[in-house]
Amino acid sequence: MDSLGRAMRAGVAAGDGALRLLFAATCAWSVAHVYYAQPLFDALSAEFGIGHAAIGAVFGVTQLGSLLALVLLVPLGDRVPRRRLALVLAALLGLASLAMALAASPTMLLASAFALGLLGTAMTQGMLAYAAAWAPPGEGGRMMGTVGAGVMVGLLAARAVAGVVADVAGWRALYAGSAAVAVVLLALLRRRLPALPAAGAPSYPRLLVGLLHVLRYDRVLQIRGGIALLMFAALGIFWSALSLPLGAPPHALSHTAIGAFGLAGLVGVWAAGRAGQWADRGRGQRATGAALLLLLAAWLPLAAMRFGLWTTVLGVVLLDLAAQAIHITNQSMILHGRPEAGGRLLGGYMLFYGLGSGGGATAATAVYARAGWPAVCLLGAAVSLAALVFWAATRRAMPQACLPLDSRISE
């Protein structure tokens, strides 16, 4: 059955550019829900009466939903037919967007943010694993680069789109519009998503145990996950605090202008595509070291905001170039040669992401409330330096990513 599936993928996926685009576009839409709120913190703070020191909790509960999705929902892709799971998640994510648009209290706001994190993450990671399983032999890194670029576009465009819509029609219109997009996207997915042969995965309880096993035994996942935790903590620190100084005097920028800073990071789309190819050619470690140095260097122009906002734009470009190169390299190395366990492996990997991103966001708004933007940048630089040190210390311990899963894991 596996050989039949690979033959199908080699014959169809390699030439189906429209399908690759659909995978990427779906990931862009779903991941955007996790980040829409970040440039809107000041508006949400004012409407719901939540102080600046605590508004980061909106992103924190979103990340909590993401963590639970990684543990409870993403591994389902190794058992439930991926096409059916994708359709159900797309429908539920549209409903969660509508609930966010109708939120009338802080409790409803936080509950809706939690649901968006849960379903947005499950949909994104499920589609990434779907794409990896569909990729023809030898093109896993390229496929992850293409779909990963879609994830990055959604992540960065989310902030820009959120800012524009909030200024023109209010933040609620943003989520109502996303619910409408869900209807259109669901029709496309029903028509175009391919069916894959059953992976023959174990029962759901054993899938959950399998997730614990990959976290315990898989050295590639442990090392690359540690790098991801620190890298995403640095991103969470920056993006969660950015709207606070930009929205206050002397800048006093609109939501549109604040969100537009995310577009500067679209340069990272190039890094995402290249990183997947580098990983396919065995250059993942070299790319990781260079990207971590870039991540650390990005905090210098970011800290110089008082000299002009052009320094912030430069910092965003450097930050996202580095982050996307690391992220795609991580995923390519973890999944290489074992797409049949993509749900468990990506679920385990993204647990590190959720812990880092949520922790960074929560710490950033608290640090900003007490010591301002320079302290936020100092915190981000310290976390980035820790990531570089961790990579250097574990480089020799990194096994070959192409090794098959241990039998204790794959059962």
User: What is the mean predicted confidence (pLDDT) over 14-41?
Assistant: 82
More reliable by pLDDT, 9 or 188: 188
CA 239 → CA 34, 93, 221, 259, distances in Å? 12, 23, 26, 10
Per-residue confidence band for 166, with pLDDT thresholds at 50, 70 and 90: confident
Closest CA relative to residue 131, chosen from 190, 228, 180, 196: 196
In angstroms, the CA 284 to CA 16 distance is 27
Report the pLDDT value the prediction gives residue 295, as an integer from 0 to 100. 95
Asked whether residue 59 carries a pLDDT value surpassing 60, the answer given is yes
Number of domains in the chain: 1
CATH assignment at residue 266: 1.20.1250.20
Per-residue confidence band for 274, with pLDDT thresholds at 50, 70 and 90: low
Assessment of whether the complete model's pTM goes beyond 0.85: no
In angstroms, the CA 220 to CA 214 distance is 10
DSSP code, position 195: P
Q: What is the mean pLDDT of the chain?
A: 81
CA quadruple 274, 278, 280, 286: dihedral sign? negative
Per-residue confidence band for 4, with pLDDT thresholds at 50, 70 and 90: very low
CA 281 → CA 6, 131, 333, 336, distances in Å? 21, 19, 11, 11
Q: Give 375's Cβ-side CA count (13 Å radius).
A: 10
Closest CA relative to residue 311, chosen from 319, 303, 323, 321: 303
Report the pLDDT value the prediction gives residue 2, as an integer from 0 to 100. 43
**Domain coverage including residue 25:** 2-410
| 203 three-state secondary structure | coil
Tens of pLDDT along 355-371?
A: 888 788 888 988 988 88
Q: Which of 140-144, 168-172, 284-288 has the lowest mean pLDDT?
A: 140-144
Asked if residue 330 lies in contact with residue 148, where contact means CB atoms within 8 angstroms, the answer is no
DSSP code, position 304: T
In angstroms, the CA 203 to CA 411 distance is 10
